[in-house]
Each structure stands twice: as C-alpha cells, then as structure tokens.
Amino acid sequence: MKQFSKLHHQIFAITTTLALITIVIISVCIASLLYTQGIDKAESVLRNKNRSVTTLIDGYVAPFRKAVEYVSGSASGIDHNHFREQETQDKILTLFEVLQNTVPNIHYIFSGYEDGSLLINDYTPPEDFNSVIRPWYQAAIKSHPLISDGIPYQDINSKKWLISFGKTLVDPDDKVVGVISIDAGMDAIVEALAIRDEQYPTIYNFVMDNEGKILIHPDATLPDKLHREIFSHLPKELNASGKLSYSDGEQNKLAHFERIDELGWIVVTEVNLDDIRQPLIKTIASTVLMIVIGSLFTTWLMSFILSRHIILPLKKLQNRVQEITEGKDELDKYVLPKNEIGKISEAIEQLTEKALIQKNIELKDTNALLSAISHTDQLTSIANRRKMMEVLHAEVSRFQRKHRPFSVLMFDIDHFKRVNDTFGHEVGDQVLIELAQVVKATVRNTDTVGRWGGEEFVIVCPNTDQTMALIIAEKVFAAIHSHSFPMQVDVTVSLGLSEFTAKHSLESILVEVDQKMYRAKQAGRNQIKS
C-alpha cells in the first residue's frame, strides 16, 4: 500500500511540476504577445491620427496655395509689372475681393511691391509702412520662385491662429517686382490638433518646422521654441514619415511624425509610454492570473481522476495478488488479475490503431487546410499580409546565407476611394479581385503576390535585381492598363520598387519601397518609382 501511496504523490508532483512549467512558458508567450500587440496597436493609433491630421492640413491649405498661384500668374489677366497704374490697382483689388468672398477662411489677401507700397482692401497702411521689409515679403523672396512655406502666426487683435503663404511677382525679364500674400484662418487645423483620444488620454499633436522650431502646440507657451528632444531623434534622412521614441526628461514618449514638404512642416503625434504600458500590464497580469488558476485547477483535477481510475484498480490488483500469495480463499472478490490488464491493453491497441491512423490523416489534412486559410486573403484569394511577411523573412534569410538578390514591389490603386464612392463597395471589391488575378497571371511562377492591406499590394521577386524588377513592374502596369475592369472603371496604380542589398533590413526595405510608392503618388500617380 505504501508503494501506491508513493505513486499517488509522484503523479501529483509530476503533474503539478509540468503544469507550473507550462504556466511559465504560456505566460511568458502570452505576455510577450499581448505587450507586442498593445504597442503595435498604440503605434497604429498614433500613425492613423497623425496621417488624419496631415491629410486635413494638406486639404485645408490647398485652396489658399492655388489662389496664390492664380493671382501671381498670367491666368489672372493682371500684369503686376504695371502696379503703379490706377487701373491695374483697381483690377488687383477687385480680384482680391472676389477671392476673399469665394475662398473660405481667407482673412487677408494683399500684395506688396518693390517700392514698399501695399495693395489691400479695407485697410490703410501707416505712412512709414514698407512692404519690402515685412516677414511675409522676405519669406516669399527667400522661396522664389516657389510659394513660401506656411508661416503660422497669432493675430494681435483676434488672437486667432493664421497661416501666411506668399509668392513673388515677376516682370517679363523674371525680375521680382513684388509679392502676393494670403493669410488664412487655421481654426480647423487647431481643432484637429486638439482632439484627444479616450483610450490614450495623453496623446496629442503639434507642428514644427524643419529646423525643430515649434509652430503650433496645445501648450500655448511652447510655439516659437526649439523642441530639442524630438528634433535630435528625427532620422537624418528626409523620410516622409516614421516613428520614434524619446525621453523629455520626465516621461518616455512614443511618437509618429509626417513631413509636409510643401509647407515646410513636420506634424508630430505623441503619447506618454506609461499611458500605453499601464493598461497592458493590468491586462497581462489578469490574463496570467486566470491561466495560473485554470491550469492548477485542471492539474489537480487530473491528478485526482488518475488516482481514482488507475491507482485504485492497481491497489485492488495488488491486494488480490497478495491474498492469493497468502493463500486466502477469496477468488470471487476481485476479477483484475495482472495478465488481464495487459490483454485488455493489447486488444484496445489493435482496435484503435486503424482509427488513430485515419484520425491522424484527417488531422493532417485539416491542419493543411487551416494553414492555407490563415495565409490567404479572403477577398482576393492571394497571399495575405502574414504570408507575405513569412516570404520576406525567408528571402532575407536566403540573402544572408547565399547572397541571392531579391526585389520588393509595392503598389497602391490610385483614387480607389472614388471607385467605392461612385460605384459602391461591391464594384470596388470586384476591382480588387480582378486586379489581384491580373497581376498574379502576369508575374512569374516564382514571384509571390499578396494583398498588403486595403488597396495596397506587394510582390516579392526572388533572384531578381533592380533592372529585372523594373521590367516586371512595367509588365504589371501594361497588364492592368489593358484589362477591362467592371463598370469600365479606369484603374491605375502608383508603384515603388527596391532591390534588397546588404545595407537593408526587412523593416528598412519595406519603409523604402513604401516611400517610393508615396513619391509616385506625389509625382502625379500612375507611375513607377525605382
């Protein structure tokens, strides 16, 4: 009896030990996964908010810049070279009034000339006023022949934030004769920057210039000051956007930035890292606690069941063998002789062997089907982002081992939102499906085409250098252009491509090809950037 008591304790000790080891492994994996997912989610929130604000700013200032271009160009029908003539001045002031009544949010529109004079409606400048020495005039001269960077300032009377754009006026000999300037309200931009996030209360946006000087900030005391901490952490390369982390001496920060080159602005969205970590730690702790309680309860229950259904019959068998050895006449009391257990085990093994083999085959087929589903985009039936990341990891590993070149192509459907808005999401989905099949049929069998997300696609080309990748890209372009999409939708794409080299990492090649695709869009879309 003592032997089986020891066996009972051993089973309990072994199952408990295995449970604790399993708990530790699972807890570490889940904690790591939850933490990584939490950080990724926070970065995604930062990135989306940053892009939302950047897009709003781009769309908001576009009419003002177009107005400046129009007034300063020949299309306006005004020859600013004759600014001293009363007839020309009347035309200019009339045009200013029309634009101010037509384009929303214009506060002031005026022009200054080389003789120091100023043309503006409803305002009489002081006698000693000199346009040439004003900041807006000098900024336009500095940016000649382009429009000056957006210069935010706070109106001295209304205390509202305004933004100033200026452009030089030239005579037929390209000599500067003056500057046209528009000051516009920034209420919508300031409101967008001030929007808070319920999940991350410390998240906020601000704008600085390319030299690190803060232009707009929720803290009214900070504009016109240099943000040394974040500026020192910006990458030296002129990346259009990216993420970074830094410390301001009191808090660790996680941030995302995006450059607006036309304005000379950098839009930054940041959050305190503790704001992300604290809820993550609580979630991880509660999850791990549930795992520990559930695992220990299950382990102790299994130990009890094993003891009851295995150790107890063995104890009875031991007692019966001992009784027979001792010559006790109680043969009808127990029917579990030792050899019968072996026979039963052998019979069960023979009966279940075929069933187990069949179940293993079915399980293998099921696992293969689940693997295919988890690596396939449900809409387009091509590889999804998870599969593309596996392919990219494999190609990077092959490059590091065998130095075999490969290239990555990333393209985005131009103005895809218009397709959904005009024809509906069902037509948009059909366009995505047909485009995926067209591209898949165009590339080589060794290439992998995948949906990266939304209307973005990625092609991984093994054993392919930059030159060959460009040929593949041109074939993809030709195939898309020649295909007849539903509702006669005119589908074009903007494509970026890069060859992986020794200086690249997986993250940097994806950033680089994404930037090239973005430049293709900036350059007018429907083109390739290599």
Residue-level pLDDT at 352:
44
Percent of the chain exceeding pLDDT 90 equals: 33
CA distance linking residue 378 with residue 24, whole number of Å: 35
CA distance linking residue 47 with residue 338, whole number of Å: 70
How many other C-beta atoms lie within 10 A of the C-beta of residue 76? Answer: 17
Tell me, yes or no, if 455 is annotated catalytic: yes
* CA nearest to 455, candidates 474, 470, 434, 473: 434
Q: Residues 503-513: pLDDT tens digits?
A: 999 999 999 99
CA distance linking residue 508 with residue 505, whole number of Å: 5
Q: Does residue 484 register a pLDDT over 70?
A: yes
What are the sequence ranges of the domains in the chain?
Answer: 1-299, 337-365, 385-529
Which residue has better confidence, 410 or 246? 410
pLDDT average, residue stretch 1-19: 68
Q: Residues 371-421: pLDDT tens digits?
A: 778 889 999 999 999 999 999 999 999 999 999 999 999 999 999 999 999
CA distance linking residue 428 with residue 411, whole number of Å: 16
Helices (H), 331-465: 338-374, 385-402, 416-423, 425-442
Q: DSSP string covering 375-392, please? A: TB-TTTSSB-HHHHHHHH
Which residue has better confidence, 427 or 194? 427
Q: With 0-12 CB in 10 A as exposed, 13-18 as middle and 19+ as buried, what is 359?
A: exposed
CA angle 259–252–32, rounded 5-degree value: 100
Selected catalytic residue, list 270, 455, 499, 512? 455
CA distance linking residue 348 with residue 354, whole number of Å: 11
Name residue 106's beta-bridge partners: 184
Q: Does residue 251 register a pLDDT over 70?
A: yes
Q: Does residue 528 register a pLDDT over 90?
A: yes
Q: Judge contact between 353 and 345, C-beta under 8 A.
A: no
CATH of domain 385-529: 3.30.70.270
249 Cβ contact partners less than 8 Å away, ≥ 6 residues apart: 229
* Dihedral sign (CA 287, 293, 299, 302): negative
State residue 93 phi and psi, 5-degree precision: -65, -35
* CA nearest to 54, candidates 210, 148, 193, 153: 193
Return the minimum-mean-pLDDT range out of 227-231, 251-255, 278-282, 461-465: 227-231
Percent of the chain exceeding pLDDT 70 equals: 85
CA distance linking residue 416 with residue 424, whole number of Å: 11
Which residue has better confidence, 42 or 451? 451
What mean pLDDT, rounded, does the chain reach? 83
pLDDT average, residue stretch 186-197: 77
pLDDT average, residue stretch 132-159: 83
Helices (H), 145-261: 187-194, 228-233
Tokens standing for 45? 């929130």
Q: Residues 261-290: pLDDT tens digits?
A: 877 788 888 888 888 888 878 888 888 888
Residue-level pLDDT at 311:
62
**Helix/strand/coil (H, E, C) string of 266-285?**
EEEEEEEHHHHHHHHHHHHH
Residue-level pLDDT at 202:
82
Which residue has better confidence, 224 or 331? 224
CA angle 220–221–227, rounded 5-degree value: 105
pLDDT average, residue stretch 40-51: 84
Q: DSSP string covering 116-127, please? A: S-EEETT----T
CA distance linking residue 483 with residue 496, whole number of Å: 21
Q: Residues 290-338: pLDDT tens digits?
A: 888 887 788 778 777 766 666 666 566 556 555 555 555 554 454 544 5
Residue-level pLDDT at 362:
73
In CATH terms, is domain 1-299 a member of 1.50.10.10? Answer: no
Residue-level pLDDT at 324:
52
Which residue has better confidence, 259 or 155? 259
Name residue 108's beta-bridge partners: 183
